[in-house]
């Protein structure tokens, strides 16, 4: 029998240690096969569990699992794992992590971590505004302009709403939610209302017949950056994003879209947030 050490961290924390999105990070996944990693993610039953592995391309390789499947990229697992990698490897405040979606640069100022997402791809959904409204339990008038499927590593449906009240009123309907299909066959929707400086958002995904809500979704924040790139090309963006209030895990995310003077057609999408280590433990297998 062997012991595997893990840490529990909260990512995109607001004020207080029990805020943000929880994550379990296994310090060394060497020797754990795919099935065991998946089973451990199901055992902890958090939105994601990660495993740190050696890499020849970056400071560490990271595998990310939900309780049901492996993900190529996700924001809060990237930042939370970076926090643990810095402590384990004493590698400073800027390095790279290898994901299935590619190599992701990360950096920190204190315990506020930032990742640079991959370039964005976008496509128009097949559903009309009326159909999207029905899926989200809203009125058609609540749906804003240019809903898009966006991917900066994982494709998600990004739906602008016309008010923060509409964001709070969203009630996805399980019987039709499955009609939303990403390129990898997953059903998920990120709704948001933009005030010009701040954003209120929620992220929905299915678990069996139920529709669940994520307290803080870094990949969706990156995809929101991709939405801005697609709908407002060339325009720099700085937003503070609130998420998680509806599930009593208030979270704060920071989004930047930057255009360099030498390459205005090549935007950088940056997603940041604060990380808190909550506890440590071991599992014997």
Short-list 105, 182, 198, CA closest to 150: 182
Residue with tokens 């998680």: 244
Residue with tokens 């640069």: 105
Q: Decide if 48 is catalytic.
A: yes
Short-list 162, 163, 285, 150, CA closest to 219: 150
Contacts of 165 (CB under 8 A, 6+ apart): none
Contact 187, 180 (CB under 8 A): yes
The one catalytic residue among 48, 98, 155, 200: 48
Contact 46, 77 (CB under 8 A): no
Helical H runs in the chain? Answer: 34-44, 75-89, 129-136, 164-169, 174-177, 218-231
Short-list 215, 219, 221, CA closest to 198: 221
Contact 172, 205 (CB under 8 A): no
Query: Hey, CA dihedral for 82, 83, 89, 90, is it positive or negative?
Result: positive
Instruction: Supply the residues annotated as catalytic.
Output: 48
């Amino acid at each position: 029998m062997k012991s595997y050490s893990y840490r529990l961290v909260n990512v995109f924390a607001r004020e207080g240690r029990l805020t943000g999105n929880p994550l379990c990070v296994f310090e060394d996944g060497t020797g754990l096969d795919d099935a065991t990693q998946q089973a451990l993610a199901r055992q902890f039953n958090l939105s994601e569990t990660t495993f740190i592995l050696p890499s020849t391309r970056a400071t560490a390789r990271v595998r990310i699992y939900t309780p049901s499947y492996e993900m190529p990229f996700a924001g809060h697992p990237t930042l939370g794992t970076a926090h643990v990698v810095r402590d384990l490897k004493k590698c400073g405040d800027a390095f790279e992590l290898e994901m299935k979606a590619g190599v992701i640069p990360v950096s920190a100022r204190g315990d506020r971590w930032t990742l640079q997402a991959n370039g964005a791809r976008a496509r128009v959904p097949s559903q009309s505004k009326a159909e999207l409204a029905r899926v989200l339990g809203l009125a058609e008038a609540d749906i804003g302009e240019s809903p898009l499927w966006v991917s900066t590593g994982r494709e998600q449906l990004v739906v602008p709403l016309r008010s923060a009240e509409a964001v709070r009123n969203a009630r996805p309907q399980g019987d039709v939610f499955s009609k939303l299909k990403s390129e990898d066959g997953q059903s998920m929707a990120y709704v948001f209302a933009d005030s010009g400086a701040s954003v209120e958002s929620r992220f929905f995904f299915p678990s069996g017949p139920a529709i669940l809500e994520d307290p803080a979704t870094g990949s969706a924040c990156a995809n929101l950056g991709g939405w801005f790139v697609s709908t407002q090309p060339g325009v720099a963006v700085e937003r503070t994003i609130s998420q998680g209030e509806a599930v009593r895990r208030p979270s704060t995310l920071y989004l930047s879209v930057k255009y360099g003077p030498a390459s205005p057609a090549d935007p950088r999408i940056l997603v940041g947030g604060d990380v808190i280590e909550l506890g440590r433990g071991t599992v014997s297998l």
